[in-house]
Structure 1
């Protein structure tokens, strides 16, 4: 049973719970005693200087590394026992991507369907259909057969977001999605994820250096601070009002 959090007369699931999380690199403490709860349909903006542990925290949440102290739970399940990773979409920093990686846009988006234990699998007709939906949703269908490394920064970010959305996740984690792209593309990208938050049953955790853009949507003051990290929070706990529950179809329909 997933834990529920009472707020404003309604009950909401705990999506992420951090309890006393700490982590060190080479005896240097990066994160110290972080405790924080993310509720269903929250939008969390995580702000902090370089070296404050933002990416480390995200990597712990998605199970790539484990906390050295404390605990993390996802959808009410301890992270070390969590199995349903398809519920989580993850867009890592683009500077972690090798631009010479020999894959097309379509192949990158389809890779979002591969489970952690199955790196490769036979692509079904339904898989292909969801891939085309994701490409059209992010307006990159015309790039499907291009090599991912040949795209602009903004185009690459749309590809990685399409990859993260192909499983219709309930939690979307984005690590610096606005870095390295021009201001017009930043605005367009941020408008898209604001729409997803406001009108769909999806929870966001986003790291960003663009504090003004974060504040414009999440408020001027952080809800909590821990060390050098600041957590800005916007709740969106009304029922989603898009006609369709499938994120890809409804986003594409509404443009």
Structure 2
């Protein structure tokens, strides 16, 4: 496909991304429209995580153009518009912290470091915790939670900023089936509210009901870009995908008070670079 750089949720044109002066992802073209739910698939070392890190400014754009929510990467004024759930599976820290305290940190992306949380911010934190099914654990130390529960706390931390774009790196890895199912439910609701999802994973099966488009990355190149069901035949594309079930609506931003609606029909994507 030919992306329109500067428009949409994500735009890459001839983009090479890497570390230092070494490109890991090379000459990639990609466009993600607002409200899409996209899996980035690939084997270990394929470059899929580097692609996501480039969108976050955590890896260097060495060539080409990369835009996020209409702004060149790294120049988005309101950082809270993009949420990120990193690859690590648990919450760690030297000082003990409660679920409420950890999730409140995510709200600072909207406020800045030196502003206190007001009533609206506290409601956003509570709503985010409730969204991941942890509303009864607000005051529990995160160290007392299981690995799957801690993973859900990290998701809530990202949701607390009410992002328009949510990027997740291997969200289902290392957690049990029950936690994977709970996460799929959370992401289905977030997607239905209009938030754009980009999920980096080596296996999209647990989230196949949520992610309807797939981008397969191999050896730093996009080898497939289309419906998730068609990605299973690609190298690194996984094997447990379901049929395409539609696209989420295009209303930007995660809000719990938005009604869940029936998504429109999918818009299949053609093969990429």
TM-score range, shorter chain: 0.7 to 0.9
Distance 1:31 1:157 in 2: 28
Partner residue in 2 for 1:179 = 173
Partner residue in 1 for 2:197 = 204
SS at match of 1:58: helix
Partner residue in 2 for 1:247 = 255
Distance 2:175 2:154 in 1: 14
Q: TM-score, normalised by structure 2?
A: 0.74
Partner residue in 2 for 1:132 = 126
Say yes or no: does 1:53 pair with 2:47.
yes
Stretches of structure 2 that go unaligned for 5 or more consecutive residues are: 229-245, 261-273
Distance 1:77 1:183 in 2: 38
Supply the RMSD in Å over aligned alpha carbons: 3.1
Distance 2:211 2:112 in 1: 37
Partner residue in 1 for 2:61 = 67
Stretches of structure 1 that go unaligned for 5 or more consecutive residues are: 6-12
Partner residue in 2 for 1:42 = 36
Partner residue in 1 for 2:247 = 236
SS at match of 1:81: coil
Distance 1:42 1:50 in 2: 24
Distance 1:224 1:209 in 2: 10
Q: How many residues in Structure 1 have an aligned counterpart in Structure 2?
A: 236
C-alpha distance after superposition, 1:190-232 (max 9, x if no partner): 13212332x211111001122434556546x956656455555
Q: TM-score, normalised by structure 1?
A: 0.78
C-alpha distance after superposition, 1:47-99 (max 9, x if no partner): 11112222222122122333122221112221232212211111111247536
Change (3 A) 1:160 1:120: farther
